[in-house]
Amino acid sequence: MLAIFHKTFAHPPEELNSPASQKTSKKPKLPDETLNDFLSHHPHNAFSMTFGQAAVLAYVKSDNPFSLHQRLFCGFDDVYCIFLGALNNLCHLNRQYGLTKNSDEAMFVIEAYRTLRDRGPYPADQVVKDMDGSFAFVVYDSKAGCVFAALGSDGGVKLYWGIAADGSVVISDDLEVIKEGCAKSFAPFPTGFMFHSEGGLMSFEHPTNKIKAMPRIDSEGVLCGANFKVDMYTRVNSIPRRGSEANWTLGDSH
C-alpha cells in the first residue's frame, strides 16, 4: 500500500525529516515519482487514486483472498481506507457499529472513523485499542482533508513513513519504495500508535504518556528520520486541541 499526503494538512512529526536527505547524492523524490515506482513494482494488480495535489492512495490487490494478511480498499461518503492484515473480532465490532456481518475490515474502519468524526461517545485511542489482530490502516477523508492512520501493537504488519521532496508525508508497507522516495527521511511507523493530521502522533495503548523521538543512525553512520516511543515516565499534563477534528482524535476521557 502507498499513501501520500500534502504537507499543508498532514503535519507529520518534524523529526522524520532528516537534514541528511539534502546532503547525500540520493535525494528524496516527488510524490508522482514515488507513485510511479510503486505502480512499476506491481504492474498487473495495483490500483491508485489521486485527489488533486492533496493526496494519493494506492494498493495492491491480494493474490489470496483467504490470506491472514489481507490487502483491502474501500470508499464511502468521501472517506477512503486502505487496510492491511485481519481483525480477529471483526464480527463483534460489526455488530457494535451496526454493520452487516459481510462488512470487511476496511468498511468497519471507515464506519468507526465516521462515528468518531461525528463526535461519537468513545475516544479514538479506545476504539483502535479494541481492534484485536494484526493490522495497519490509512484513512483519508477527502471532504474534511483529514488523515487517520494506525498500526497494531503485535508487530504482525509492517508499516513505514517518511518525507518526500516537497514535504509531503509518505506511508507504505513497501520498504524499498519508502527508501527510494524519502532518502534518509524515513522510519518505521511505531507499533501501537495512531496518527491524525490534526491531533498528531499518539500511542493508543498509553494515550496519556508523552512521545519521545529517538534518533536513527543507518549502516553508513548517517542520521535518518527517527523512531518514536512512549515515554513511560512522563505524562501529558494537558492535551492540546488544534481544531474540531482533534476533539474526537484525542478524546475527553484522559
pLDDT exceeds cutoff 80 at 244: no
Helix (H) or strand (E) holding 226: strand 223-235
Percent above pLDDT 70 for the chain: 89
Helix (H) or strand (E) holding 58: strand 55-60
For the record, the C-alpha cell of 110 comes out as: 471507515
Q: Given pLDDT bands bounded at 50, 70 and 90, which one contains residue 215? A: confident
Q: What's residue 245's pLDDT?
A: 44
Which residue ranges make up each domain of the chain?
2-250
Predicted confidence at residue 121, as pLDDT, reads 63
Question: What single string gives the DSSP state of each residue in 97-127?
Answer: TT--TT--HHHHHHHHHHHHHTT-SS-HHHH
Q: What is the pTM of this model?
A: 0.89
pLDDT tens digits, 8-24: 888 889 999 988 777 77
CA distances from 150 to 39, 139, 200 (A): 23, 9, 12
Instruction: Flag whether pLDDT at 238 surpasses 60.
Output: no
**pLDDT tens track for 20-50:** 777 777 899 999 999 999 999 888 889 999 9
> Class assignment of domain 2-250?
alpha beta
At residue 199, the pLDDT reads 85
Q: DSSP characters for 127-175?
A: HHHT--EEEEEEEEETTTTEEEEEE-TTSSS--EEEE-TTS-EEEES-H
The per-residue pLDDT for range 153-195, each reduced to its tens digit, is 998 999 999 999 999 999 999 999 999 999 999 999 999 999 9
222, with CB counted inside 10 A (0-12, 13-18, 19+), is middle
pLDDT digits 0-9 by tens, 66-89? 666 789 999 999 999 999 999 999
Give the pLDDT mean for 129-142.
96
d(CA 239, CA 117): 18
User: Predicted confidence band at 120 (pLDDT cuts at 50, 70, 90)?
Assistant: low
**pLDDT averaged over every residue in the chain:** 87
* Contacts of residue 233, Cβ cutoff 8 Å, sequence gap at least 6: none
